A = this chain, B = another copy of it.
Amino acid sequence: MRSIHIGMLGLGNVGQGVLRILAENGAAISNRIAANPVISRVLVRELDKARALEVDPALLTLEPSDVIDDPNVRVVVELIGGIEPARSYVLRALEAGKHVVTANKALLAECGEELFAAAAARGLDIYFEGSVAGGIPVLRALREGLASDRIDRVIGIVNGTSNYILDAMTRTGASYEQALAAAQAAGFAEADPTLDVEGGDAAHKLALLALVSVGVRVDPDRIHTEGITRVRPFDIRSAHELGYVIKSLAIGNFGGDFGESVGPQLRVHPTFVPRDHILAGVRGSYNAVEVSSRALGQSMYYGKGAGMMPTGVAVVSDIIEVCRDIVGFSEGGPPPGAFREIRPVELAPLDDLECENYLCVHVPNVPGVLGKVASCLGRHGVSIKRMNQDTPGPGEPIDMVIMTERTAEAKVRAAVAEVDTFDLALMPTHRFRILDADDPVGAGA
């Protein structure tokens, strides 16, 4: 299979995430795009630095041109951050005819005009999914999924640090200072948190959301921005009493058909959000972007907004998209959208599925019935976590509610089947599986 060489600038957290994802999911990725994306050169500041990930030393270089000017390199991934030297390197890479992938929101928000023009002049593209909301593919959703729609408004929780701090204040009653210190201790806030807590980071992201939503470029320094540093526990409590939670929102209104003179309205500020609003449930360092568009209405994109692996996912997905285009164009036809090789499979039986269960058994209120049901469940290996029943008059029907411990499906089915054969059973038992929210990988419901 054909290899496509990728050069990388920077090997920090996200860079190491990119290498790890390519190493772990390489086979599946090649299956999608009929090519093998290979990181062939990485610019670093120190060759011998200790890194969490083992990296082939032959890949590393201290010399930018080893990456940018390597004729084998088709795609340059910029993960240095900040404006310079990232800007110069990206311009040089574009001049050398290479596509660029970056997660650098500050660079794009400040110098986007220059960089996009340089790319367009050479028929190249700049991919930047990782720059907003980490691995949540919200830019892709706006650019492609809603490409046919007219976007009126975006509301984003796009700064994980601010959301983490406000969420901690809401949950624990802590002051801003206490919550910031805890966030710093937990690695969710920088030693100097200014860019996050004063809203500057969110303003950069909002400028990029506006670019992708309605094709306008705005100066992020002109965006009205208020930080979260003045939010007090009193305000949080007042908000709660009034039915709200305080969230730092980045809001872009594009609804008025703004023309040459009046632009979109963009702002970042702490906001009272009604407690039953979908954004009110975005906890901790999670990010979310709610989009309002004419035809689709309201839609929402939610997930982890930062970090080595989440941002790595976005960067590698951009790499895949470039590679898919490169392969397709050189082969003269559009590449397949999904997996090239799709295999038919048999489904796994549910017998081994383990989950907690709600059972409602229908029997008359006669002495010994509870024991009979409980013993039957026990015989089948179904442990009871709790049991509730109304206390009706003697002989009247009982709705006996039983919550089980985590139990294998086959056991629950067998137990319920036997209970339903009892002479006493008034109707078939009602059973619901309980979602185990914390067990995505296991067999739980």
Contact = CB atoms under 8 A, between A and B. Distances in A.
Contact of A125 (B123, B239, B336, B344): B336
Interface in A316-343: 316-317, 319-321, 325-326, 328-329, 332-334, 336-343
A132 B23 CA distance: 31
Contact of A148 (B211, B271, B320, B348): B320
Interface in A14-64: 17, 20-22, 24-25, 28-29, 31-32
A223 B346 CA distance: 10
Given A145-B317, A295-B21, A360-B238, A430 B215 contact: no
A350 interface: yes
A123 B333 contact: yes
A298 B441 CA distance: 11
Contacts of A320: 144, 147-148
Interface residues of A, number: 139
A168 B299 CA distance: 21
A432 B270 contact: yes
Contacts of A269: 432-433
Contact of A150 (B28, B141, B153, B278): B28
Interface stretch (A83-91, A176-184, A250-258, A373-381): A250-258
A242 to B, nearest CB: 7
B217 A135 contact: no
A31 B227 CA distance: 36
B440 A238 contact: no
Contact of A299 (B153, B234, B303, B346): B303
Given A141-B141, A223-B347, A264-B345, A296 B304 contact: yes
A20 B149 CA distance: 11
Given A143-B338, A332-B329, A263 B299 contact: no
Given A255-B442, A271-B445, A297-B303, 6 more contacts: A215-B341, A217-B343, A238-B360, A253-B443, A265-B348, A299-B304
